[in-house]
Structures are given as structure tokens and as C-alpha cells.
Amino acid sequence: MPGPDIAAQLDAAERLCTKNGTQLTTLRRVVLDLVLRSTAPLTAYQLLDQLKSTRKSAVPPTIYRALDFLIENHLVHRIERLNAFIPCDADHEHADAQFLICHQCGTVTELEDHGVSDALAAAAAARGFTPSRAMVELDGLCATCAPPDTAPPPAHR
Amino acid sequence: MPGPDIAAQLDAAERLCTKNGTQLTTLRRVVLDLVLRSTAPLTAYQLLDQLKSTRKSAVPPTIYRALDFLIENHLVHRIERLNAFIPCDADHEHADAQFLICHQCGTVTELEDHGVSDALAAAAAARGFTPSRAMVELDGLCATCAPPDTAPPPAHR
DNA sequence: ATGCGTATGATATAATATAGAAAGCGTCAT
DNA sequence: ATGACGCTTTCTATATTATATCATACGCAT
């Protein structure tokens, strides 16, 4: 399952950038496309290798600049633990996200859990700390990879 | 203020390792000492440079191995966002920690906030995810660096 | 003394990321 | 139309962070 229509996601990204007054250039669009097509997180150099096949001039700054742009525009997330990148899942207006990293199958799930973000906001506020960006990443085993009786799948919903 | 007695912290570390059946060798002790003396987080190569002055044979694996040991023994934390290391604050039995990184003054504060860890555990459980390690790091401004009316200091306590 | 586990030494290289200068290319005010 | 500006891309070089691999040393139990 190649996921929900990459072309549509690219078009949505285009609209978002227009709205933000930024440009989703061809280069950036190609990089976003590569990120969207992958099931697993990709590193900058994996992306670079792929990019090189269509754009011979590509070098590390090429990909890092494109990724910086995509991250600023909330189209891509950087997973610090992996030094790797995944598409942003969501239509959401980006409060905060949390990531569940399965070290068995390598997939990363994006959450936007208000219980977590509220707890973080409260913990920060209690210390007079003004957060500007949160990084929340859990290593572990996803529902599919975990031994069944260790972690029963979530109640059906 | 050089902080609470580094020698005592080293001795406590020694006892902890003995209890764990691991050895706080001279090399590891020296590296821990370097980490303890710094107010700011130090990168592996900053530590390496300092270590070289007393141990000419030191090379990258030297420092990375020492750090791995110290981290496994809960004596040091790695701050992913900074690729840098700080001493573990605590006597605590290491449930989970969270870190507040001030990008003005560079200090990192370690928390052990149960509101946060409970919220994370709940969020993970709800998706059938079994966490093995949590990374929670907030970038922002500490109470000292934040403009006063943006973030009033915590209620006196 | 031998063998085993753990720690350290030594060399090389891999992987990740940024700096900085210059050229291309629209666009838009004059 | 042109030239000044802003943004993007190119190009070259280098900085920073991290690991692989094999060899050597040391303590200690058999």
C-alpha cells in the first residue's frame, strides 16, 4: 500500500507553501516526493543518493537546504535519534508531535497527543521555562512487533 | 559555584558501579570528572581534547567507549539535540528524564516529571507501543533568560 | 601457565553536517 | 529596458560526529 496518493500530497504541499508565501521549487518538490515514497525514515545521504540519479549536481548542501525548507514548512520531520527524515503525517496545525520509533521494524509513528503536550507545557511552566520546540521520541516496539502478552494491542477502536 | 563537591560525586559513582558489578576505571573516572566539572554540555570531541592533555593515547573510540559506559551506568546523559553530554543529576533510580535546553545560555536542566512520563506511557500504551527508552528534550528559554512578562518565574517554592 | 573476560590502544574510515563565495533568475520600481 | 534586489541553486571545501576492526594488556580463576 503505497499510501494515500502522493500526487495529492504534493499538491497540498504546494498550496500550503503558497499560503505561507514560500516556494515549493522543483528541487524541493522532488525531495519531498522521495521522502513521501519511503515507508521507512531516510537519512540525508540516502536521499542524496536517490536525488543524484535525476540531478547530477546534487551534493550535501543541496539536500540539507531542501530538507531545512521542508521542515520549516512543516512538510517533513527530522527524527533526531535516527538522524533521518519522515514526511509530516498531517493536516494538523502543528502543535507538537511525538514519535514512536520501533527498533524492530524501523517504522516511525507520528502522534499528536495532547495529554503529552499538556504535561510538557505544565512541567516547563512550573520551572519558568519557555519552550520553543519539543522533541519527544520513544524507542521501543510497535504493536505489530511486540510479543503479544507483553503489549496487548490497543482496545479496538 | 563549582557545584556540590565533585570528589563526593565521583565516590558515589564508584559505589554505584561496585553495586552494579561494573568497574569505574581510572579512564572512566577521569572522563566523568571532566563532565562533572563543566557547567555546559560538552561534546565528545571537546571531552577528547581535554582528555588528551593527560592521556596522549586518547582517540575518538576512547572517549566514546567511556561515555557509553557512563551512560549505561546512569552517570551521564546524552543530549541528542546537542550531540553533547551532561552529568546525571540525580540519586534517582532513573525512571525517565526530561531535559530543558536553554538556547540563550546553553544550560540544560534535568527533570524527572511524572506528569510527563505518565502521559507518555499512556500515549504509548494506547497504541500498543512498548517503550524501552524515552527521549524528551525541550528547546527554549530558561527562567533566567526569558523576558520577564513572557514567562514569569515559577510560583515561589 | 593457560584461558577467559574485560578494558584499552591503535589505525582507519564512515556518516553526518556546515561554511562561504559566486552565479542564475525572476520581478518590479524607476 | 535595465539595474537593483531577493531568493535559489551551484560549487568547492571542510568541519563535526561516530564506528569498525584488530591488536595488546591486565586481572583473575582454573
Does B19 score more than 80 pLDDT? Answer: yes
Predicted confidence at residue A147, as pLDDT, reads 77
Predicted confidence at residue A148, as pLDDT, reads 75
CB B9 within 8 A of CB B87: yes
Q: What are the Cα distances from residue A39, in Å, to A42, A92, A109, A132, B135?
A: 9, 20, 11, 29, 23
Q: What value does the mean pLDDT take over residues A138-150?
A: 86
Q: What value does the mean pLDDT take over residues A126-151?
A: 90
Quote the mean pLDDT of chain A: 91
H/E run at residue A98: strand A98-102
Would an 8 Å CB–CB cutoff place A113 in contact with chain B? yes
Contacts of A80 in chain B (CB under 8 A): 80-81, 135, 137
Could you report the per-residue pLDDT of B20-72, keeping only the tens digit for each? 999 999 999 999 999 999 999 999 999 999 999 999 999 999 999 999 999 99
Q: Which of A2-6, A135-139, B108-112, B141-145 has the lowest mean pLDDT?
A: A2-6
Would an 8 Å CB–CB cutoff place B153 in contact with chain A? yes
pLDDT level of residue B157 (50, 70, 90 thresholds): very low
Would an 8 Å CB–CB cutoff place A149 in contact with chain B? no
Residues constituting chain A: 157
Contacts of B98 in chain A (CB under 8 A): 120, 123
pLDDT level of residue A152 (50, 70, 90 thresholds): low
Contacts of B154 in chain A (CB under 8 A): 125-128
Does A141 score more than 60 pLDDT? Answer: yes
Pairing of strands B130-141, B98-102: parallel
Q: Is the CB of A124 under 7 A from strand C?
A: no
CA distance A147 to chain B (A): 10
Contacts of B143 in chain A (CB under 8 A): 127-129
Would an 8 Å CB–CB cutoff place A66 in contact with chain B? no
More confident residue, B2 or B71: B71
Return d(Cα A36, Cα A10) in angstroms, integer. Answer: 9
Predicted confidence at residue B154, as pLDDT, reads 57
Quote the mean pLDDT of chain B: 91
Cα angle at A142 between A141 and A145, to 5 degrees? 75
Return d(Cα A23, Cα A92) in angstroms, integer. Answer: 20
Of B81, B127, B152, the CB nearest to A128: B152
Å separating the CA of residue A34 from the C1' of nucleotide D2: 40
Predicted confidence at residue A157, as pLDDT, reads 47
Predicted confidence at residue A99, as pLDDT, reads 98
Q: Which of A15-19, A71-75, A148-152, B77-81 has the lowest mean pLDDT?
A: A148-152
Closest residue (CA) to C1' of nucleotide C18 is: A61
Could you report the per-residue pLDDT of B90-106, keeping only the tens digit for each? 765 676 899 999 999 99
- Cell digits for B70? 557512563
Does A79 score more than 90 pLDDT? Answer: yes
Return d(Cα A106, Cα B94) in angstroms, integer. Answer: 26
The nucleotide closest to B82 (CA, C1' atoms): D17
CB B45 within 8 A of CB B83: no
Q: Is the CB of A66 under 7 A from strand C?
A: no
Domains of chain B by start residue, with CATH: 6-87 (1.10.10.10), 93-157 (3.30.1490.190)
Closest residue (CA) to C1' of nucleotide D7 is: A23
